[in-house]
Structure 1
Amino acid sequence: MKPFDLSVYLVTDTRLCGARGVAETVRLAVAGGATLVQLRDSAAPIREILALAETLVAMLRPLGVPLLVNDRVDVAMAAGADGVHLGQTDMPASAARRLMGEDAIIGLSVGNPAEFAAARDDLHAVDYLGTGPFRATATKDDAGAAIGPAGIATVTALCRLPVVAIGGIDATCAGEAIRAGADGVAAVSAICAAGDPEAATRAIADAVRTARAAVHPAPTPD
């Protein structure tokens, strides 16, 4: 498996990026501290998604930032992306692993204990879980009800896989998700719709760093 860092996970939204475009938004977010990028656009034709994925791979690989593609294993493989993020109704993670190989990063959305139970037999093929929505969000129609810190804590207690909190995440609540047990936070509108994506990402990264310092304080010298 390739190394990855869930700390500040950008999930793209083409509509929210607007005239600035996805590629420029990603560039600015990485400059602000994004550690992982997921290309998500369920509405675009496959050729457009593939072309954008190839552009992002060329941009991100020299920077050491992995690119995952939402849902589409075929696009991820064709573009040479680092992995894929799957939902509950997508290709099983075990099948994606067989196709993509051991080096691929594979994430799976698990919003509650019932979804965790349904996916239990497939978790051996998964590298991390995406859990949420942390707060109410309008960027994903089927996101479900907000689960808050208690929901994050419940899922993190079920297994040892890293967990990234998603859904309504911005700098005001990123620290709360980390304190609840998340290994990182995924943001969509807080970055894609921001007037300054670099500054918005940096604010989230600062909140994550501060929360981690509170949860795992540095040892004091003897």
Structure 2
Amino acid sequence: MKLLAIDTSGRALSAAIFAEGEVLASGGVDSGRNHSLELLPLVDDLLRHNHLTFADFDAFAATVGPGSFTGLRIGLATVKAWGQACGKPLVGVSTLDAIAATAAGGAEAADYIAPICDARRNEVYTALYRGGERLSPDRAVGPDTLARELARLNQPVLLAGDALLTYEPLLRRELKDNFRLPAQGNQLFFAAAAARLAAVQYLAGAVVEPAALLPVYLRLSEAEEKRLEAERRA
């Protein structure tokens, strides 16, 4: 089984090829959300170096959020086009699950894992994991509130995700000795983990037709909020 996965949900973008039970190749670009220009060259480079074409894959996968509204639209539109052109199914992977799985490689079994994505407007997207299990649903929350909640656990918490680029000092201050980073450092490329998760879902039959793959948005975009406010005022 061969699967091509992409992650365009955050600041960086990445892609990975899963084949014969393992990640065959992966790559990423910290493009500062310039995904529309960087994604296809990155994927083309991966395919060329591994002597593959889109027709060789059994399915395509993408992280579906929560994350950047624009990034998710780019990623989902891209895999939908691949799926439709090749007649192949799609797999959607939670962005937070992919970040947590990436971080888990450096975690102790007893550690909590809190992936955090920059949600803009002074919020982060997050969930809580421990021992490979998800303990909470996706949510958008202020970083101060999250830091206090994690501190109250009074246990080591491993944090990962692009929101650390902004909020690491705050989280370190609140969690003190319980603040942890993955052994490999804070990673921004999550497509390899997404590919592994997608392979499990594919083998379990959790696939969809291209038209049925939907993003996970936890709130309205700023543009949508402004439009609704304008309609209320009209």
TM-score w.r.t. length of structure 1: 0.29
**Higher-strand-fraction structure:** 2
Greater C-alpha radius of gyration? 2
Q: Which has the higher contact order (CA 8 A, sep 6+)?
A: 2
TM-score w.r.t. length of structure 2: 0.28
